[in-house]
Amino acid sequence: MNLNIKILKKGDTVISVLPYEGSVAIAVKRKSGHVEIILISKNSDGLPEISSTWTIGEGDNEIEVRDGDVRISTF
């Protein structure tokens, strides 16, 4: 099976690809300077899918979690 993972936009760079808790973590530096950690896991059919995305950017040492309309922040 050959996979074509289309997560890059013009100006983006892959920093690393590592195994992470049964998934694959791909670190992408975006053209804007932010870094995204994209976790790819296998679904129940054994096909790869993006399970979550972590964005690392500027801020005051806080973490914000969004799931639909719910937003949780730490201070």
Distances (CA, A) of 75 to 58, 65, 66, 67, 71: 14, 12, 15, 18, 13
Where do the H-state alpha helices sit in 1-75? none
Mean pLDDT of 3-21: 95
pLDDT confidence tier of residue 71, bands split at 50, 70 and 90? low
In this predicted structure, what is the pLDDT of residue 64?
A: 82
> What pLDDT, on a 0 to 100 scale, did the predictor assign at position 3?
84
User: Rounded to an integer, what distance in angstroms lies between the CA atom of residue 12 and that of residue 23?
Assistant: 22
- Give the model's confidence band at 51: pLDDT under 50 very low, under 70 low, under 90 confident, else very high: very high
Model pLDDT, residue 2: 85
